[in-house]
Amino acid sequence: MKEKILNALTEAVNELLGSSCDEIKLSLTVPKDNSHGDFSSNAAMIIAKKIGKSPRDTATVIVNSLNEKISNIASCEIAGPGFINFKLSGDAGAQIFLQLFNTGEKIGLSNTGNGKRVNIEYVSANPTGPLSVGHGRNAAVGDVIANLYKAVGYDVTREYYFNDAGNQMTVLANSVRTRYLQLLGVEVELDENAYQGEYIIDIAQAIKNEHSDFLKDTDELNIFKKYAVDAMFDMIKVSLKKMCVEHDVYFNERSLYDDGKIEETLQKIDKLGLSYKKDDAIWFKAMQFGAEKDRVLVKSTGEPTYRLPDIAYHVDKFKRNYDLIVDIFGADHQAQYPDVIACLKAMDLDEKKVKVVIYQFVTIVKDGEAVKMSTRKANYITLDELMDDVGVDATRYFFVMRRLGSHLEFDIELARKHSLDNPVFYVQYAHARISSIFRHCAEKKPDICLDKIDAENINPALLTEQEEIDLISHVAQFKDTISIAAKTCEPHRLTGYLEKIAELFHRYYNLHHVVVDDDEVTKARLALVILTQRVIKNGLEILGVNAPEKM
């Protein structure tokens, strides 16, 4: 329906301009105020200048030409400064309703991605400790974005990139060894910048249990390192599983060295004339790409910095032939990707395929106060503790409900609450309530079988209440909401949408009964709430949140 109107509109504008208007983006949106019709376009205001007329005059011309084209579907009129508002006519609304109903369980899903391959890298925490709430936002955002892409027909790969070598691992291994020695009664102090969490002691204890004091005098750090890494990854994977996050690929940075990809990338950069030697180190000419100074790729010790493997890693992703590469980073990583992008571009790779999603930090609010956090010190709330406290549903939901650019205040008390001010429960409650209508209906009117309600035997013309019309009109926007959320990588659009749907439903529920004396009206209304429930269910599924039948 929308397509038809948009086509007609495009055609009308083309006729007026005498040429194609491809480069102009005509919008056809659903206005928030329904007195402005079912659809609205700004076409006249955009092209008014080009043809040298006032917006309203332009609109008049467009409307005249449009009326012939779409007289059977909709009427249009001019409003405000030159908006063209469309009002669907006759049974167009009913047709839309039936169409939506016929899409069945899959409502909202589409295939606009057409099987294109997208790689989404998220979490990517190195195995140095339990996942923090910061990782939690990363995990939830990445996972929901992955689900969104899947919902619009992409072939999605979920990837976790990690590094279990280097300086941080040595610090970790040393921390474990110190704790181990302490357990054996040796008087040693924990180094100042060592990892101080309780979990280090647990690992040390495990080593002691297995090896007794045989490792007391060894200088070999590797055994401590291996123990620590394995233990950390176990912890991390348990947390992620609890959160219903599962990656398809775990990509170890070290493999880039083993496969010679680091060397290969370095040579390529050199060949392009983008690197030089100075003070025994190899530098990347980042200034050519707007950076304030050049960056080191390989230290004078011969060791690469993090930058080089990052570049090699992205080159590898390109080789794996993805149409889209999405990186989910916290704000503390925002400085590192421009170099990578610049380098990819220089290598003649299409850097537009890389989409870097940066989210701002999380503040945990407990008892009305912000909880300060530090990874090295032990005084932080882990993701596990958070999930145990407020539940997985609330955890996931809260992490994605804000725009990524804004800081997220995670209010633990609010997340725990089972009442309307907690948006998760508000939405879930709407879903459960609809199930309860079905239960009630089965009891009251056993003749009406839910499974037998289909487009053939319902009459949408009976849905005339304002609350019903509002609900239908919002349900109709589900698909667009998902595709916009996917395209922009903005999961909060979906939570906002679901809250709106839930609100419209609760209002409807309070004012009108679904199961009434008249069987025909009952069936039409049942169809509407079935549709509503499907929308909520699919929406929650994308968020990775349960849609309960009872609460």
Residue 6 binding RNA, by CB under 7 A: no
Number of residues that bind RNA (CB under 7 A): 92
Residue 193 binding RNA, by CB under 7 A: no
> Given candidates 15, 205, 511, 519, which one binds RNA under the rule CB under 7 A?
511
- Report, in Å, the least distance between residue 399 CB and RNA: 12
253: tokens are 């940075």
**β-sheet bridge partners, residue 382:** 132
Rounded distance, CA 241 to CA 236, Å?
A: 9
Per-residue binding string, RNA, 300-329, x by CB under 7 A, is xx-x-xx-----------------------
- Report, in Å, the least distance between residue 206 CB and RNA: 25
Rounded distance, CA 145 to CA 538, Å?
A: 14
- Report, in Å, the least distance between residue 153 CB and RNA: 20
- Report, in Å, the least distance between residue 326 CB and RNA: 15
Residue 29 binding RNA, by CB under 7 A: yes
DSSP single-letter state for residue 450: G
- Report, in Å, the least distance between residue 366 CB and RNA: 14
542: tokens are 């994308």
- Cβ distance to RNA smaller for residue 241 or 439: 439
Alpha carbon separation from 312 to 344, 372, 499 (Å, rounded): 9, 36, 42
Residue 1 binding RNA, by CB under 7 A: no
Residue 499 binding RNA, by CB under 7 A: yes
Residue owning tokens 């304030």: 292
Footprint on residues 41-80 left by RNA (CB under 7 A): 42, 45-46, 48-49, 55, 79-80
Footprint on residues 440-479 left by RNA (CB under 7 A): 440-441
Residue 332 binding RNA, by CB under 7 A: yes
Q: Which residues are CB-contacts of 352 (< 8 A; sequence separation ≥ 6)?
A: none
- Report, in Å, the least distance between residue 364 CB and RNA: 11
Rounded distance, CA 62 to CA 39, Å?
A: 15
- Report, in Å, the least distance between residue 69 CB and RNA: 19
Rounded distance, CA 299 to CA 305, Å?
A: 7
Only one of the segments 9-17, 97-105, 197-205, 422-430 lies at the binding site for RNA (rule: CB under 7 A); that segment is: 422-430
Footprint on residues 79-98 left by RNA (CB under 7 A): 79-83, 85
Residue 409 binding RNA, by CB under 7 A: yes
- Cβ distance to RNA smaller for residue 79 or 469: 79
CB atoms within 10 A of CB 530: 18
For 104-144, list the strands marked E by DSSP.
Answer: 117-121
Q: With 0-12 CB in 10 A as exposed, 13-18 as middle and 19+ as buried, what is 542? A: buried
**Taking phi first (over 0 means left), then psi (-120 to 50 degrees means alpha), and beta for anything else, what does residue 290 get?**
left
Only one of the segments 60-68, 312-320, 395-403, 468-476 lies at the binding site for RNA (rule: CB under 7 A); that segment is: 395-403
Helices (H) and strands (E) in the chain, counts: 20, 15
Question: H/E element holding 115?
Answer: none
